[in-house]
Amino acid sequence: WFVRLFLLLCCTKCSLSWVYERTRGQVWPLPRFISYQKTLNYISPVKFTFKVTNNTCPILDEAVKRYTDVIKKMLPRNHHQWQGCPDGASLQEVLVTLTEPCEDWPNLHMDEHYEVHVNRPDYDNLTIVSSSSVWGLLRGLESFSQLVTPATDAAGCLVLNSTDILDYPRFKHRGLLLDTSRHYLPVPVILNILAAMEMNKMNVFHWHIVDDESFPYQSITYPSLSDKGAYDSKHLIYTQDNVKNIIEYARLRGIRVIPEFDSPGHTRAWGGGANKLLTACFTNGSFNGEFGPVDPSRSQNFKFVRTLLEEVKSVFPDKYIHVGGDEVQFGFQCWMSNPTVTQFMKDNNITSPENLEGYYMN
């Protein structure tokens, strides 16, 4: 049946492939306002440059280098055999205008408005990418790069239509969640994902870095967590340098990194590296060999988790971290089976496991 289904999907894809043609020179996501003109502007990749005309900063400098490289790599590999652009290719310079100083870190309230004007008569036939923020310029440079395609009528050239774009996002938070606990991903793969997020103008990398299955984050304060909790404590971990490189790679692309360290549930992988952190589960009054959520009856556990989260906050610069609190109901039975936990509840007038969860989270 699997083979039949696979063949059916392949045939369906083949039969419908004509419906959706690959776009050329169109911007994604669709901007708030975009107007294409019929005028074609040819680019010689060898001579093409971006020129920063006002404020600049390392984020913008890196972006200009990156998008210059993107433009130049649009030519096929055999472009040296081509004839080249007509003399005096019509677009050789794009002005990049930042009207306000740069921010250092992307944030929830960052301004991502931008404008792109290609060969506008009322701009002295200049081509301009402009914004009041460096984050807006990143989005504008991406849109400009998507307008450019290899020319079909001038060998060795790139081409784009005269275009006007006014754009800003509908949603401040446009995120992608990646779970590296259940499925470890090497750092180069994560960087490629961040590059793809930039192409789609996404701005939040929600990094679900640890969970029940593994603890690949190499903690400064508690290295035993990854020593005992990672799939492989030598190879399948994220070192502090790995984390810093990922955060910096994201920052340069206007992407926030929000880490997720769930508790009191989703902490099974923590148990090997933290003695008595997890609740021992009982059956008929005897320990059954299993462990549940973080044991809230031990004050030392609050200190442990708080210290870990303080470290996480110092490593990840974003204002927010995700601390979980979800799906603890699956551990309620374990809590209620443990005599030490139930006695703690009585001593503190906690009448239900739901209230015990609230006590822990607060």
Torsion sign over Cα 73, 77, 80, 84 = negative
Cis ω before 264 (30° cut-off from 0): yes
Question: For the chain, where are the alpha helices, taking DSSP H only?
Answer: 2-16, 58-72, 134-147, 187-199, 224-229, 240-251, 299-315, 332-337, 339-347, 353-361
Query: What one-character-per-residue DSSP string does 11-66 give?
Result: HHHHHHTTTSPPPSS--SSPPSEEEEEEEEEEE-TTT-EEEE-S---HHHHHHHHH
- CB-based burial, 324-358: b 16+ in 10 Å, e otherwise: beeebeebbebbbbbeebbebbeeeebeebeebbe
Cis ω before 29 (30° cut-off from 0): yes
Give Dmax over CA atoms of the chain in angstroms.
Answer: 88
Burial class, 140, CB count within 10 angstroms (exposed 0-12 / middle 13-18 / buried 19+): buried
Q: How far apart are CA 40 and CA 126, in angstroms?
A: 14
Asked if 213 is an active-site residue, the reply is no
CA 93 to chain centre: 31
Task: List the catalytic residue out of 112, 327, 354, 357.
Answer: 327
Element (H, E) at 207: strand 204-208
Active site residues: 327
